Amino acid sequence: MSQPDPANTSAAKAQHAPASGTPIEVLFALLPDSLALDWAGPAEALRMANQVLQTQGQPPRFVLRFVGPQPETRSSVGLQLSGLEPLPQALSEPTWLVLVGQMGDTIPVHSDATQALLHWLRGLRLQRQRLELMTVCAGSVLAAHAGLLAGHRATTHHHHLAELQATEPRCQVVENRVFVEDAPVYSSAGVSTGIDLMLHRIAQLCGEPVAAQVAQSMVVALRRGPHDPQLSPFLSYRNHLHPALHRVQDAVSSQPTSVWHLASMAAVACTSPRHLTRLFMEHAGIAPLHYLRRIRLAVAQTALQSGHNVTQAAALAGFSSDTQLRRAWHQLGETGTPSQPQSYQK
CATH topology of 10-206 equal to that of 230-346?
A: no
> Looking at residue 205, what is its pLDDT?
92
Tell me, letter by letter, the H, E, C secondary structure of 253-308. HHCCCCCCCHHHHHHHHCCCHHHHHHHHHHHHCCCHHHHHHHHHHHHHHHHHHCCC
CATH architecture of the domain formed by 230-346: Orthogonal Bundle (1.10)
CA-CA distance, 5 to 335, in Å (whole number)? 22
Nearest residue to 201 via CA among 180, 218, 221, 216: 180
pLDDT for 226 equals: 59
Cα separation of 81 and 42, whole Å? 17
β-strand partners of 85: 67
Q: How would you classify residue 261: left for phi > 0, otherwise alpha for psi between -120 and 50, otherwise beta?
A: beta
Whether omega before 243 lies within 30 degrees of 0, making that bond cis, reads: no
**Average pLDDT per consecutive 10 residues, the chain (346 residues; last block may be shorter):** 41 50 93 94 96 94 97 92 95 93 90 96 78 95 97 93 96 89 92 89 90 82 51 73 88 92 96 96 94 92 84 93 93 86 42
Domain boundaries, the chain: 10-206, 230-346
Query: What pLDDT, on a 0 to 100 scale, did the predictor assign at position 129?
Result: 63
Q: Residue 122: what pLDDT?
A: 95
Which option is the CATH number for 10-206: 3.40.50.2300, 3.40.630.30, 3.30.1540.20, 3.40.50.880? Answer: 3.40.50.880
Alpha-carbon gap, residue 281 to 286, rounded angstroms: 5
